Copies of this chain bind each other. A is one copy, B any other.
Amino acid sequence: MENNTIQDVVDELLTHSDDTNTQQAMIEQLEQDKSDADLALLLESLPWSERLSTWDQISDDRKVAVLVEMRLDASASILENQDENRLLALFTGIDADTLLELQDSLPEHLLENVIGRMDEEQQHRYSAAQQYDDEEVGHWCDHQPLVVPAKTKMKVVTRLLRRTLPPHSHVIYLVDSRGNLVGAARINRLFGADPTLRIAEFAEEDFPTLNAKDDIYAAADKVAASGESSLPVVTDGGLLIGRLDMGTAYELQSERAESQMMASAGLDEDADLFAPVRKSAQNRAVWLGINLMTALLASWFIGLFEATLQQVVALAVLMPVVASMGGIAGSQTLTLIVRGLALGQISRANLKPLLNKEVKVGALNGVLWAVVIGLVAGFWFGDVKLGVVIGIAIVANIVCASISGIFIPVLLDKLKIDPALSGSVILTTVTDIVGFVAFLGLGSLLLLG
């Protein structure tokens, strides 16, 4: 089983879904061979009834770690269907960092109970993290970095180091008596140090830090750019409250990419593959509703040309082509600009040369495809004037799409709205309307009578 993929296991479990003995044996084997993340993936891949029965068969000492690895809606699907007393037992002895990761999928009443049963130090850490919202690094930083008072003797430090080292620790953080960060010492520099010296002797005082209020994604990028395996997180007052390591930075980045991909279809990043039908339908309805309004708006513009359409039905046949070519060209510019905004490439002064370039690119491609489409339409309907009309409409729509592809994301960004989410809806509304109006309007002028 060690080499089986989780997909194979899912297939096995679903084909033996009535045979609890076989299932039990499989899960036992899995627990030996697979990581917590693998088990989490397995649970996410199962429909609810099989998910819950598989969950029951996972041994209690792995359960919390598996939950932490699951996406929110999927872990909530399990937690909502368990006996509260059993869950309380499961969460006994949980630490603050783990609880922070799980809290959004815990029923509120249970969460309060779990917090009440944590020891004082963990309660303190938990409530300290709660002072920051979940976009801030203070909320998510790891609370167990390697920290010693700056005046600690090297003898003690090396004993500590030999015993244990958290992952991604290549430095020790040094604090003063108030817990404020005063520097960091690189572990490799400590070899051969005189055991009677204080570790402060080895401190780098200008070691880079993160502020607890920094945006988590920006903080992840900062850790990666620093070349260090982790950076200390301090408050405005200089108090060391934890660290952000490369492992967490990697997770954050992957979460950000996933959430952007999901958001582009109006979906929640936490959406469960097997969410209940009613809940899924509800979550998706909003996006469909927004789209309906933009589609009806476009239809309203088409409606202005009813008389024309009745006389030249070819316009009705071809109008989606004009709209969609504009949409595609615009989305290319939009995507380039959205990336540019995310990277910080776009400034006030380079918008003008950028606009200049994109309009030229649009015009060139507009003319190219206008000729092609004009010829196709002209031959198809045996009407040269129709070819000319669609050609002009295509050029106009593609050029207009290029301009919109720049201004829409830049404006949204200024308004602090994520252009990756709403940019393309607005853009295609514009390209639909411009496309329909240009094509049908020109058609009315040149083809009627």
Task: Spell out A's residues near B (CB within 8 Å).
Answer: 5-8, 10-11, 14-15, 35, 37, 41, 44-47, 158-159, 161-162, 164-165, 167-170, 186-192, 224-225, 227-229, 246-247, 249-251, 253-254, 256-258, 260-262, 264-267, 271, 273-275, 277-278, 280-281, 284-285, 287-289, 291-292, 295-296, 298-299, 302-303, 306, 309-310, 313-314, 316-321, 323-325, 328-329, 331-332, 334-336, 338-340, 343-350, 353-354, 357, 360-361, 364-365, 368-369, 372-373, 376, 380, 420, 432
Least CB distance from A439 to B in Å reads 12
Whether the pair A265, B350 counts as a contact (CB closer than 8 A) is no
A368 to chain B: which residues have CB within 8 Å?
281, 285
How far is B256's CA from A254's CA once the two chains are assembled, in angstroms?
10
Whether the pair B295, A324 counts as a contact (CB closer than 8 A) is yes
Whether the pair B247, A292 counts as a contact (CB closer than 8 A) is no
Whether the pair B10, A349 counts as a contact (CB closer than 8 A) is yes
Whether the pair B264, A372 counts as a contact (CB closer than 8 A) is no
A278 to chain B: which residues have CB within 8 Å?
364
Whether the pair A361, B277 counts as a contact (CB closer than 8 A) is yes
A274 to chain B: which residues have CB within 8 Å?
353-354, 357
Least CB distance from A59 to B in Å reads 21
Least CB distance from A69 to B in Å reads 10
A285 to chain B: which residues have CB within 8 Å?
365, 368-369
Q: A288 contacts which of B188, B246, B318, B369 (Cβ < 8 Å)?
A: B369
How far is B188's CA from A164's CA once the two chains are assembled, in angstroms?
8
Whether the pair B37, A353 counts as a contact (CB closer than 8 A) is no
Whether the pair A288, B7 counts as a contact (CB closer than 8 A) is no
How far is B362's CA from A124's CA once the two chains are assembled, in angstroms?
47
Q: A277 contacts which of B267, B281, B346, B360 (Cβ < 8 Å)?
A: B360
Whether the pair B267, A328 counts as a contact (CB closer than 8 A) is no
How far is B256's CA from A292's CA once the two chains are assembled, in angstroms?
33
How far is B356's CA from A372's CA once the two chains are assembled, in angstroms?
43
How far is B335's CA from A365's CA once the two chains are assembled, in angstroms?
29
Listed by A's residue number, 9 A-B pairs whose Cβ atoms lie within 8 Å are A161-B188, A190-B191, A229-B229, A229-B246, A246-B247, A257-B257, A284-B332, A288-B365, A309-B309
Q: Provided the pairs A45-B350, A328-B291 are in contact, do residues A344 and B5 lie with their beta carbons within 8 angstroms?
A: yes
A339 to chain B: which residues have CB within 8 Å?
258, 261-262
Q: A335 contacts which of B5, B45, B161, B265 (Cβ < 8 Å)?
A: B265
Q: A7-B348, A44-B343, A273-B354 are in contact. List 18 more A-B contacts (CB 8 A).
A: A10-B349, A14-B350, A158-B191, A187-B188, A229-B229, A264-B264, A265-B331, A266-B332, A271-B336, A277-B357, A281-B361, A287-B328, A288-B328, A292-B369, A292-B373, A299-B320, A302-B316, A306-B317
How far is B333's CA from A162's CA once the two chains are assembled, in angstroms?
51
Whether the pair B6, A372 counts as a contact (CB closer than 8 A) is no
Least CB distance from A431 to B in Å reads 12
Whether the pair A46, B350 counts as a contact (CB closer than 8 A) is yes
How far is B253's CA from A177's CA once the two chains are assembled, in angstroms?
40
Q: Which residue of B lies closest to A46 (CB)?
A: B350
Q: Which residue of B lies closest to A343 (CB)?
A: B41
Whether the pair B224, A251 counts as a contact (CB closer than 8 A) is yes
Q: Provided the pairs A267-B332, A287-B332, A339-B262 are in contact, do residues A250 and B253 lie with their beta carbons within 8 angstroms?
A: yes
Whether the pair A345, B273 counts as a contact (CB closer than 8 A) is yes
How far is B73's CA from A336's CA once the two chains are assembled, in angstroms?
14
How far is B193's CA from A162's CA once the two chains are assembled, in angstroms?
10
How far is B355's CA from A317's CA once the two chains are assembled, in angstroms?
33
A7 to chain B: which residues have CB within 8 Å?
344, 346-348
Q: Provided the pairs A15-B349, A225-B35, A348-B7 are in contact, do residues A288 and B354 lie with their beta carbons within 8 angstroms?
A: no
Q: Provided the pairs A287-B332, A288-B369, A339-B258 are in contact, do residues A37 and B225 lie with their beta carbons within 8 angstroms?
A: yes
How far is B349's CA from A5's CA once the two chains are assembled, in angstroms?
14
Q: A329 contacts which of B170, B284, B313 (Cβ < 8 Å)?
A: B284
Whether the pair B273, A320 counts as a contact (CB closer than 8 A) is no
Least CB distance from A304 to B in Å reads 9
